[in-house]
Amino acid sequence: MIYDSLYHIYINDKCVKHNLEESEFRKEIQYIRAFLELTDLDNGAIVDYVRCDPPQASLVDGSY
């Protein structure tokens, strides 16, 4: 099984979106930044994200 990276989006150190796949992440981060800009809330807002890499499979972890 192949796992993709997941993303979490934070605004001022508060998680607002979590466990997003890359395609969802790209849409959501653009939406959030545009919303903050349109509402003039972007001056004090710090938008950040964390990329969580999938676990690496190895031969030691294989099933028998």
CA distance 28 to 7: 10
- Position 54 confidence tier, pLDDT thresholds 50, 70, 90: confident
Q: Residue 56 has what pLDDT?
A: 72
The pLDDT tens digits of the residues spanning 18-34 come to: 999 999 999 999 999 99
Let me know: does 8 contact 19? Beta carbons within 8 Å: yes
Global pTM?
0.78
The pLDDT tens digits of the residues spanning 3-13 come to: 789 999 999 99
> Mean pLDDT over residues 42-61, rounded?
80
Domain spans in the chain, listed from the N-terminal domain onward:
6-54
Q: Residue 63 has what pLDDT?
A: 55
CA distance 1 to 20: 18
